[in-house]
Amino acid sequence: MARAERLLSLLQVLRRHKRPVSGARLAQELGISIRTLYRDIASLQAQGADIEGEPGVGYVLRPSFMLPPLMFSQAELEALILGFRWVEKFADEPLTKAAGDAMAKISTVLPDSLRDSLDSTALRVGPRVIQDTERVDLGIARTAIRLQRKLSITYIDGAGQESERVIWPFSLGYFQRFRILVGWCELKGDFRHFRTDRIRGLVSLEESYPRHRADLFKQWRAIQTELSYVPDT
């Protein structure tokens, strides 16, 4: 492994750990000697990385540090390209535009050798099988999820019945044929899955829901026997 790639890998490992991690564990993860690890940490600290700790205590990377030169391995770059291409094809319009903008930003700071890989990679995403059918702005839903705000929706179920719901949204799933908004439904007193193409009205409320989004997601995952996002009926 080249030294530059090794230093980048060390930063990535440190970013995954929120608490101090021992030098022995870091060296084991990277497949290097403890002496090499200490030299690499000293090199990163000299370049401005805010790594705190010492031998026998452990090391932690403070979140303020950003590596100036943006570098990716070939596999990481291919994963990014594939992900961006999927979003550009299957997400709603604001996200497809954001994906293109993000890819352009990354392209401008990549070395020439990696920038060429953006267009030459053989990875492709299959054809889109549906057109956007939402009548509402999914950006409102994403913002409500991020801010943990309640949503008021008008929903048409599979039987064609219309209902007014207040939900606590915590997840938005993107699939090839449809999209699913997942939340706690106050009307049903339970978790529900709403196909976004059946939502006829969507309003973000000022009121925050009383539980943390991560707790709702954890509880929802715990009761799922399989990943089958069945729309509310």
* CATH code of the domain in which 169 resides: 2.30.30.520
- In this structure, is residue 149 part of a structural domain? yes
Range of the domain at 151: 138-222
Mind listing the pLDDT tens digit of every residue in the chain (233 residues)? 667 778 878 888 888 887 889 999 999 989 999 999 999 999 888 877 888 887 778 899 886 555 454 566 777 777 888 888 888 888 888 888 888 888 777 776 666 666 676 666 677 777 766 666 778 889 899 999 999 999 999 999 989 999 999 999 999 988 877 889 999 999 999 999 999 999 999 999 999 999 999 999 999 988 876 555 555 55
- In this structure, is residue 127 part of a structural domain? no
Q: How far apart are CA 116 and CA 185, in angstroms?
A: 48
Angle at 115 between CA 174 and CA 176, to 5 degrees: 15
CATH number at residue 17: 1.10.10.10
Considering the domain architecture, whether residues 78 and 57 belong to the same structural domain is answered as: no
- In this structure, is residue 227 part of a structural domain? no
Helix H, strand E, coil C: the string for 76-114 is HHHHHHHHHHHHHHHCCHHHHHHHHHHHHHHHHHCCHHH
The answer to whether 169 and 141 have CB atoms below 8 angstroms apart is: yes
Considering the domain architecture, whether residues 79 and 102 belong to the same structural domain is answered as: yes
Number of domains in the chain: 3
Considering the domain architecture, whether residues 178 and 145 belong to the same structural domain is answered as: yes
